[in-house]
Amino acid sequence: MIDFLTLLQVLDSSLRLATPLLLVCLAGLFSERAGIFDIGLEGKLLAAAFVSAAFASITGSVWLGLLAGILASIMLSLLHGLASITLRGDQIISGVAINFLAAGLTVVIAQDLFGQGGRTPPLKSGGRFEPINFPGTTSSKEISDAGPLMQLYSELFSGHSLLVYIALLTVPISWFLLYKTRYGLRLRAVGENPAAVDTAGISVIGLRYSAVVIGGVLCGIAGAYIATSLQANFTKDMSAGRGFIALAALIFAKWRPWYALGACLLFGFFFAVDTRFQNILLPAWALSGFLIFIALGLMSYVWKKDLLDKVVLGGLALGISAIAIMVISSVWNSGISNQIKIPVVFIQSLPYILTVVVLAGFVGKAIPPRAGGQPYVKER
Q: pLDDT tens-digit profile of 71-100? A: 999 999 999 999 999 998 899 999 999 999
b or e along 126-159 (b: 16 or more beta carbons within 10 Å of the residue's beta carbon)?
ebbbeeeeeeebbeeeebeebeeeebbbbbbebb
Q: What is the pLDDT of residue 144?
A: 75
| Mean pLDDT of the region 124-136 | 85
CA–CA separation, 368 and 255 (whole Å): 7
Task: Work out the percent of the chain whose per-residue pLDDT is above 90.
Answer: 44
Residue 349 has pLDDT above 80, yes or no: no
Question: Residues 131-170: pLDDT tens digits?
Answer: 888 888 887 777 777 778 888 888 888 888 999 999 999 9
Q: Is the pLDDT of residue 251 over 90?
A: no
Q: Characterize the bridge pairing of strands 280-283 and 339-342.
A: antiparallel
* Rg (the chain; Cα; Å): 23
User: Is the model's pLDDT at 363 over the cut of 60?
Assistant: no
Burial category of 200 from C-beta neighbours within 10 Å (exposed 0-12, middle 13-18, buried 19 and up):
exposed
More confident: 333 or 266? 266
The answer on pLDDT for 2 being more than 70 is: no
Q: What is the average pLDDT across 368-378? A: 79
d(C-alpha 105, C-alpha 100), whole Å:
9
Neighbours of 31 (CB within 10 A): 32
Greatest mean pLDDT among 211-215, 233-237, 360-364: 211-215
Handedness of CA 280, 286, 290, 295 (dihedral sign): positive
**Contacts for 56 with CB less than 8 Å, ≥ 6 apart:** 62, 64, 65, 66, 123, 127, 128, 227, 228
Q: What is residue 337's predicted lDDT score, i.e. its pLDDT?
A: 65
| DSSP one-letter code for 362 | T
User: Residue 277 — very low, low, confident or very high, per pLDDT cuts 50/70/90?
Assistant: low
Q: Is the pLDDT of residue 336 over 80?
A: no
Binning pLDDT at 50, 70 and 90, where does residue 356 land?
Answer: low
Q: According to the model, what pLDDT value does residue 211 have? A: 95
pLDDT band at 293 (very low <50, low <70, confident <90, very high): confident
Lowest mean pLDDT among 50-59, 105-114, 128-137, 199-208: 128-137
Q: What is the pLDDT of residue 1?
A: 46
Give helix 204-225 / helix 41-59 axis angle, nearest 10°.
Answer: 50
Mean pLDDT of the chain: 85
